[in-house]
Amino acid sequence: MALGLPEELWRGNQMRPLRNVRKVANPMVRLNVPLDPAKTGRDAISLEGSLRRMIVGQDEAIQQIVNIYQMHLTGMSAPGRPIGNFLFLGPTGSGKTRIVEATAEALLKNPRAVIKIDCAEFQHSHEIAKLIGSPPGYLGHRETHPLLSQEVLNQYHTDTMKVSFILFDEIEKASDALWNLLLGILDKATLTLGDNRKVDFSRALIFMTSNLGAAEMSAIMAPKLGFHASAAQTRMATGEVDEETTAKMARSGVEAARRKFTPEFMNRLDKVVTFQPLGSKELKKILEIELNLVQQRIFNTAPERAFVFTVSDAGKEFLLSEGTDLKYGARHLKRAIERILVQPMSNLIATDQVRGGDWVRVEFDAEAKELRFAREAEGLPVTEMVRLVDTSVTMPELISSTGASADTVKIQTARSSKRS
């Protein structure tokens, strides 16, 4: 058969009794029912919703990951190749690495379930031995454990999700030997180690990040010369980017990648996505996400001493003013939160000024230009703490399993203990 149909399908008609020939020969009934290929399945919708809650301002990257995952679920992925090969371009702090961790968190419930290869460690060709191991006969052959063995790829597999996440961070810093090594992985989903063992990448999502084109994107966003320089500076301050500017930035990123990498390398990529710089609107959303992560950190670190904190609107504006830098993206905001909020809060915990069941209110002091911390309430039961935190923050099982009976004990203990 030309289509390569299974034997039981085409041979089955030959072995049917003659009385069924008339039924088979009946002309088909044409329904002409319109179909909508834009719809996605339930699992893909769940992944997209999870990514949109964790990633801000990168809709194209989210959509591409969801599309590739949908093809994998339906069995429509190309056989003998990885599930997906992605190259993420864009300026620093725009979320290229974060979206890989968010995808692993959404599918495997573990943001650390990513095999991360820092390509800055492979600037010389001989360092490839760290990835595939040394061949027999070389000194230290048995002591070299390859970073891309089959055991490493499968270490995060679960009974229901057998997908590996591999991240080559800052791929442009690696030597040509690593790019040539990737050619076989991206095309045939196969890698041969130093001891001739085969590694299967057919169940892997391969991500590569790069800052190529970041300088050109900055020049497009904020030109220093020309009639439109002042208008561009205003857009840069507000973070508003029109479609024409977005298209220019995407083209500049792809062109920079084509100048750096060989054509055979680029042809093996499924998707090349240019991440957009984050504006003030996106940074405000990221601030809310980061504050929720700090609250989650408090719950997970010491569940028996868990407390909640809320930041006023003026306090959030102060964090944004101190941490907003459109050139360095969200990383500058993270550093500001750690320095202005997390470090003083750790001092309050270490000196017993904040204890389990407290509600800490964080305000902004305009005169001193710093955050002020105050205990709004103490001995709060679990139900009240749940009401105060964001819905994306989950309470640890140790807290939620104590139940209402333990809440009264906590309240009495907190009221009777002496505060300093």
**String of DSSP letters for 78-97:** PTTS-SEEEEEE--TTSSHH
**Span of 75-84, 184-193, 297-306 with lowest mean pLDDT:** 297-306
pLDDT at 9 over 50: yes
- Band (pLDDT 50/70/90 cuts) for residue 312 is very high
Average pLDDT, the chain: 81
Nearest to 249 by CA among 278, 228, 206: 278
Domain closes at, from 220, 239, 274 = 274
Nearest to 101 by CA among 161, 59, 55: 55
**Span of 42-51, 66-75, 146-155, 408-417 with lowest mean pLDDT:** 408-417
Q: How many folded domains does the chain comprise?
A: 2
Residue 336 lies in a domain: yes
For the segment 295-320, the average pLDDT, to the nearest whole number, is 88
Residue 265 lies in a domain: yes
pLDDT at 308 over 50: yes
Look at residue 210 and give its three-state secondary structure: strand
- Band (pLDDT 50/70/90 cuts) for residue 24 is low
pLDDT at 1 over 60: no
pLDDT given for residue 134 in this prediction: 73
pLDDT at 207 over 50: yes
Q: Do residues 226 and 367 share a domain?
A: no
Domain closes at, from 213, 241, 274 = 274
Q: Do residues 263 and 291 share a domain?
A: no
pLDDT given for residue 362 in this prediction: 94
The pLDDT tens digits for 250-285 are 888 889 899 999 999 999 999 999 988 887 888 889
For the segment 231-246, the average pLDDT, to the nearest whole number, is 60
Give 365 or 139, the one with higher predicted confidence. 365
Round to whole Å and give the CA distance between 229 and 222.
7
Q: Do residues 133 and 254 share a domain?
A: yes
pLDDT given for residue 410 in this prediction: 41
For the segment 213-229, the average pLDDT, to the nearest whole number, is 66
pLDDT at 20 over 90: no
Q: E strands, 59-172, where?
A: 84-89, 115-118, 164-169
Q: Do residues 269 and 341 share a domain?
A: no
Q: Do residues 79 and 123 share a domain?
A: yes
Q: Do residues 292 and 243 share a domain?
A: no
- Band (pLDDT 50/70/90 cuts) for residue 348 is very high
Q: Do residues 260 and 295 share a domain?
A: no
Round to whole Å and give the CA distance between 268 and 264.
7
Q: Do residues 148 and 82 share a domain?
A: yes
CATH number at residue 81: 3.40.50.300
CATH number at residue 324: 1.10.8.60
Residue pair 209/98 in contact by the 8 Å Cβ criterion: no
Percent of the chain with pLDDT over 90: 41
pLDDT given for residue 137 in this prediction: 57
**Span of 35-39, 123-127, 244-248, 367-371 with lowest mean pLDDT:** 244-248
pLDDT given for residue 326 in this prediction: 65
Q: E strands, 197-281, where?
A: 198-200, 204-210, 271-274
Residue 404 lies in a domain: yes
pLDDT at 409 over 50: no
Give 221 or 408, the one with higher predicted confidence. 221
pLDDT at 149 over 70: yes
Q: Do residues 167 and 299 share a domain?
A: no
The pLDDT tens digits for 73-96 are 998 888 889 999 999 998 888 889
Residue 33 lies in a domain: no
Domain closes at, from 259, 274, 289 = 274
For the segment 292-315, the average pLDDT, to the nearest whole number, is 87
Q: Do residues 332 and 290 share a domain?
A: yes
Name the residue range of residue 317's domain.
280-416
Q: Do residues 154 and 196 share a domain?
A: yes
For the segment 11-33, the average pLDDT, to the nearest whole number, is 63
Q: Do residues 314 and 177 share a domain?
A: no
Residue 23 lies in a domain: no
Residue 399 lies in a domain: yes
Give 218 or 210, the one with higher predicted confidence. 210
The pLDDT tens digits for 189-206 are 999 998 888 999 999 999
Residue 255 lies in a domain: yes
Residue 3 lies in a domain: no
